[in-house]
Structure 1
Amino acid sequence: MTMSPSKLNQGQRSEDGTMLDFSDKHEGKTTDFVLVYRKSLLTNVKQEKLEYFIWRLSLAGIIIDAERFSADADLVFVKLHASNDVVFNYADVCDIDLACRNDDYRPDYDTPKGFLATPLTRPKTDNEVYKRAPESVSMDRPTGITSAEKILIMVELMNRTKFGQRPSEYGIYKLKQEKVFIDAFPVHDGEHKWTETGRLNDRQLLARYWGSTKCWYKCQPHHTIERYFGTEYAFYFAWLGFYIKMLIPAAALGLICFTFGLSTCNYKYFNYRSHEICNSDQIMCPKCHQEGCTFEPLRASCGLSKMCYIFENPTTIALAIATAFWSTCFMEYWQRTETVLALRWNVRDLELDPGTRPQYTEAATTLRYSPITRKMEPFVSTKKMIVGYVVTGSSIFLLVMLSQSAVIPREDRQGGLTGEG
């Protein structure tokens, strides 16, 4: 049942020392995930749990290969590869809709014009970039599993795989204190540096036409971002780009108000208050009550009053009203854009993480039929829920009472209720 990583086949290395492919036994297989650990940190118990975890992954269909790091013999890399059949099977188990399987998936078709466009946002079939990366640039529905989908399914698979004979509370990304002895890393499709010949990967395309500072004013390639990073990251950058676009008219109105205040601050007709302050002979009381505080003339605040007028002039009222309309339009237009993107990326009905948390699965020892999903799902009994609510509510009540007792004002010890003094 056990499978020692040190006894697995030795993988191949590229010229720069990075691990790319599996050994000759699994020729043609590329690395999808890498598990890294130090052998010196493993006790016998931890070694057994790790071997059990790797064995469970192999039962799930994951091809495994391991090798030591040449610069540090204590560092071990365990390379994982999931075939397309395994990914398709676990996509059904995790209820993850793959873009290549869904006909409703439509990438972003809003192609910008002119200087805002790039080969990723406005593809042309006669372009050299299009010929070298047709699947990424064409904006068509993916014909295979994307990098983001494969990483998502691999993470979900590892989270559901038991680690040793203990529950899967260990996780695979964040392990607790003394249990930290293994890390997991997804592998990129290839180098990010641009090549003049051969096939281009999504990482190279994004680094050149999106991540470069030369493209700061270009429209974002949302479809390529969604393919490489996943839907959550794509929605974030789509929102960020939309927010920046909507800030342009608001910034223009603010600049107009600022220019008006700056150009009229010296005119009595518009800024009569500053004119009165600057020409006043009144003397103001000192700002402090200690010795040495002197009286100051009112006209000493002339510059400050003009500065306030620049930002608070009559057009500020119009700017406030326009900002209220702008915020409403921003929310309405973004909801419309978000719905369109959700339809194109086939995530309109997806509200939360499609997978069930392993901690909930462990706590839910029984199954119950769900009339919504029409499947047997983990179920926590009412008694356990009541106990959890009571413990949580009591803890919150205790913290609230402690915070209230900390802010209750105390009477002065030298007077008040103490009777001293």
Structure 2
Amino acid sequence: MASGSAPIGFQGVEMAVHGSNEYSQDHSPPGEAAGSQLAGVGSPAYDSELTPLKREVAQGSGKQTVFFKDGKRRIDYVLVYQVYEEQEQEWRDKREQKRQDYFEQLKGEGLELEEDHEAFDKKSIFVKVHAPWKTLSREAEALSLKMPREENNYVRKGWWDRMIENMRCSIKSPFNHGLEDMQNYITLPFSKAKQKSFIGIEDKDKFFTPAQRSLMVNGILVRTPYSREKSKVGFERLLANKAIEAAYPLHSGGSDVPEDEEQNERSVLRHVWARWGAWYKYQPLDYIRRYFGEKVGIYFCWLGLYTTWLWPAAIVGLLVFIIGCGISGDDIPSKEICDDNLTTLFYMCPLCDVSCDFYFLKETCYYARASFLFDNGATVFFAAFMCLWAVFFLEMWKRTEVGLAYRWDVLGYEEQQELPRAVFEATVKTKKENPVTGRLESFVPTVTQLTKLMRALSVVFFFIAVVIAAVIGVVVYRITVVAAMNENNSLRQFSSIATSITAAVIQVILITVLDKVYQYVAVLLTEWELHRTQTEHEDSFTFKMFLFQFVNYYSSVFYIAFFKGKFTGYPYNYNELAGARLDECGPGGCMIELTQQLAIVMVGKQVVNNFVELLLPKLKAWWRRRDTKDEDPDDDKCVQRWEEDYDLADLNQYGLFAEYLEMVIQYGFITLFVAAFPLAPVFALLNNLIEIRLDAYKFITTLRRPVALRAQDIGIWYSILDGVSKFAVISNAFIIAVTSEFIPRTLYSYTMSPTDDLKGFVNFSLAYAPIRTNFDGTLPESSLKTIYNQVHDHQLKAPGSNALYNSSDTCRYRSYRQPDGTRKVFWWEYLTSALAFVIVFEHVIFAGVALVAWLIPDVPADLKEQMQRVSFLGEQALREREVESEEREARPTSDV
């Protein structure tokens, strides 16, 4: 399968969705197909179901193996424990008893165990777990695991898919990942009674892939009790109390096998996928799914599609920025601010009440020009473009997701096949008849669920209040630092940018610290809620975390965009907080500060996350290996596969949550505030081109192999993305209307300027305040010198006015007010225009959203037809095989 790459992943994803096999030359059963398909990287074909060094390499041969000592039974899972000599005997005895009880229960479930006491570190004991055919077939039937029954040669494509295929054909050679397309099969739920009708059943050792075997064994490990008390189930609790150190399935082999040597599944993915040089190539999604399972495969598919769709957003955003750079030199308000001839006209009031000095607006010339780069008519267009872009992206993901779920046999999995969590069944004692199956099942009463939900939400809202308090603390910091820097004439011109940058850095630190604390609390709350299925459990945890993270990451940005400077007041009537004047926007306006905050938080977060993702697993692996560094270097004892994997970092219980959260937070930055930062999609694209390969590298080389869990979609993340997209329409509308200068400039141009330009706009937007004393009864000596040496006796005429005024008697401040502090008529006109703009903008965008949703069906028409066709072929094949079986059984009798 040629599937999506980082930049062009969508094209390949569509190929995967519709099960295209026109490039596949291999029609062998699953067990045999893997070798020839994976040989596409220029290596000899190999049997993916065997150890990469083949079965002749058994324990004690000096080479690695993934089999028991007999060289025949595959290791499906590994449990690790240690005996702590430094602990009390009673402590050790309790844990030993739990382990032995657990191991006996596992044997009773049909698993075979083999202990290895010859670890390289001389202290770890590895318990290798094997599931024989009888156990696997039982579990496969219980899980309704779909297996191949018939080759699917159905190929029929709609106009969209034909267009994508034509695009792909022209770039297949340079962008193909080098692997052949996997064969597509008609699959049906496994049945022991009808097992002979499945393809590849002749070799039972290779019928289930290692990923499927690990999934089934994991299910047994999770639900098996380790005590006579049936509520004490699963190895998670044994891990928590140190009875077991680790539990994981094995990687198929080493990841750094040279390309001229025999490859394993892991090394193949390392060569063709998890390397920086493959940033422009398709992702081999079928192979990712085969090795890591559907949940990981869907994540990388979503990440590839999202990155692909960032290309048009980044290109348009870059064009908007270039347009802003091109027209910035013609911006009349910026010219007026920077004009030396108008310097004394814009003599600004102090930015604090006690020791701050007066200053000229010309000092903010740089900020005025920089602000216009991100605050012009082109950004209004881009905001609308991104709102519609988000809708198109989500609609196309729905189409991709349903096709991928169908191809990977997980469509309807959560509703029909997902089993209750072992902890839920063991803990919940109340039973209720399932109206669908008619069986008694554990359930939690609705009243109990609501009670737990309300208690959990109260804790969530408490932590949200903590975040808001932290934001207020940052606001107080801004007020204090601005006042302190404005006392120094040499630092005054840097006060705005210095305060914005340092406040943003403090915000990032607070975000990181609060995130760690809250995540620990969210885990405890979600476990306490006791959800029925793993999907419900993860969705609840995700929702709590996102509510908190939404406030944590975006609160400071929302403050600058919608609150800063809006309630400050005016000279001699300023509003105060904690005895200090409320924080207000600098002379350049809040838009440039909003842009700075977005750039620092977004880009800074991406850099930190990538650094942590790359470095942290390596540090954990080093920490595990630290005790073996003094071993004899001449020791020729082989470090076995299970020992090497033990040194790797473990994926946490919520698996891909951190990966999704990072991308969804980024998605919020490029949609919620894109009107203030058109370059956000550019930085997001650059980050994601690295992120795809970084995540791939992490999963292949630095993490233990995760259990190949199943999933049919990205879960609650889609609802979150949809909510963010809708909220982005409102957010961008208010940024343009309230924070940007677009509305007042446009209104002034059409109502106040006879030539329909912006001459005199700066002067018009600045109100006058009489110079009395410095608001506390004193006037700084430096201010007296400035007034009387530089401005005194300058009789200036305000643009558009015949009135002369003495600028040494007044100072200016940003507001549409009369000298007595009352609002100008223009301010009310602006307020009305801003409200009208918000209403029109929202209605137009939401109308476009509805139109897009109506034009693009969630399930492609040709996929519906294929689903019906495959269902028919599956039933037909089943009937034909049953008839053949009946005829075969009846033939000897008839001969007699």
TM (norm. structure 1) is 0.77
- Report what 1:49 is aligned to: 98
Q: How many residues align?
A: 372
SS at structure 2 position matched to 1:241: helix
Aligned ranges for residues 315-326 of structure 1 at < 5 Å?
315-326=378-389
Q: Deviations over 1:5-56 (max 9, x none)?
A: xxxxxx924636x5633123xx411211111111336633332322222122
Deviations 1:97-133 (A, max 9, x none): 2344687899xx976613211212xx2xxxxxxxxxx
Q: Secondary structure of the equivalent of 1:43?
A: helix
CA contact (8 A) 2:102 2:224 kept: yes
Flag the 1:215–1:285 CA change in 2: closer, same or farther, 3 A: same
Deviation at 1:381, TM superposition (A): 7.0
Contact 2:75 2:130 in 1 (8 A): yes
Tell me what 1:98 maps to. 146
Matches within 5 A, 1:22-421: 22-24=68-70, 27-40=71-84, 43-95=92-144, 97-100=145-148, 113-120=172-179, 123=180, 138-141=182-185, 144-167=207-230, 169-173=232-236, 175=238, 177-178=240-241, 180-195=243-258, 200-267=263-330, 271-279=331-339, 280-281=342-343, 282=345, 283-291=347-355, 293-351=356-414, 354-365=418-429, 368-372=432-436, 374=437, 376-380=439-443, 382=445, 386=447, 389-390=450-451, 393=454
What is residue 410 of structure 1 aligned with on the other side? none
1:332: Cα distance to partner?
A: 0.9
Cα deviation code 1:160-196 (max 9, x no counterpart) = 1111323353521454754543421211112222355
SS of 1:169's partner is coil
Q: Would you say the 8 A contact 1:257–1:316 is kept in 2?
A: yes
1:140 Cα deviation from its structure 2 partner: 4.1
User: Residues of 2 paired with 1:196 and 1:399: CA distance?
Assistant: 51
SS at 2:420's partner residue?
A: coil
Q: Against the structure 1 CA distance between its residues 119 and 376, is the aligned structure 2 distance closer, same or farther, given a 3 Å change threshold?
A: same
CA contact (8 A) 1:286 1:294 kept: yes
3-state SS of paired residue (2:413):
coil
Residue of structure 2 equivalent to 1:20: 66
Deviations 1:377-402 (A, max 9, x none): 423375xx645654664676699799
- Whole-angstrom distance in 1 between the partners of 2:141 and 2:306: 36
Residue identity in the other structure for 2:421: R
Identity rate of aligned residues, in percent?
A: 26
Q: Is the 8 A contact 2:76 2:129 kept in 1?
A: yes
User: Which secondary structure does the structure 2 equivalent of 1:334 belong to?
Assistant: helix
Q: How far 1:273 sits from its partner (Å)? A: 1.3
Partners of 1:335 and 1:87 lie apart in 2 by 33
Gaps of 5+ in 1: 1-10, 124-136, 408-421
Contact 2:432 2:443 in 1 (8 A): no
Judge conservation of contact 2:337–2:365 (CA < 8 Å) in 1. yes
| Greater RCO, CA 8 A, separation 6+ | 2
CA contact (8 A) 1:37 1:183 kept: yes
Shift of 1:88: 2.3
Which letter does structure 2 place at the counterpart of 1:354? E
Contact 1:159 1:168 in 2 (8 A): no
Does the 8 Å CA contact 1:63/1:82 hold for their aligned counterparts? Answer: yes
Instruction: Evaluate the alpha carbon distance shift between residue 246 and residue 357 of structure 1 in structure 2; reply closer, same or farther with a 3 A threshold.
Output: same
Q: Is the 8 A contact 2:348 2:358 kept in 1?
A: yes
Structure with larger Rg: 2
How far apart are the structure 2 equivalents of 1:47 and 1:39?
9
* Structure 2 counterpart SS, 1:164: coil
Q: Normalising by structure 2, what TM-score?
A: 0.38
Distance 1:196 1:251, change over 3 A: closer
Range that drifts further, 306-315 or 55-64: 55-64
Distance 1:99 1:203, change over 3 A: farther
Q: Secondary structure at the match of 1:351?
A: helix
Q: CA deviation at 1:365?
A: 3.9
- Find the aligned partners of 1:44 and 1:320 in 2 and give their Cα distance: 65
For residues 243-272 of structure 1, the C-alpha deviation after alignment (integer angstroms, 9 at most, x for no partner) is: 0110101111111110011112112xxx11
Q: Name the CA shift for 1:363/1:323 in 2 (closer, same or farther; >3 Å).
A: same
Structure 1 residues 389 and 54: CA distance shift in structure 2, 3 A: same
Do the aligned partners of residues 168 and 381 (structure 1) sit closer, same or farther apart at CA in structure 2, a change above 3 Å counting? closer
Aligned to 1:5: none
The offset of 1:59, in angstroms, is 2.2
Give the Å deviation of 1:75.
2.1
Please list every run of 5 or more consecutive structure 2 residues that lacks an aligned counterpart in the other structure: 1-57, 155-163, 186-198, 201-206, 470-896
Segment drifting more, 280-289 vs 37-46? 37-46
* Residues 336-356 of structure 1: per-residue CA shift (max 9 Å, x gap): 111111111111102378231
The verdict on how the C-alpha distance between 1:273 and 1:180 changes in structure 2, with shifts beyond 3 A counting, is farther
Change (3 A) 1:403 1:149: closer
Question: 1:363 Cα shift?
Answer: 3.0
Q: Secondary structure at the match of 2:235?
A: coil
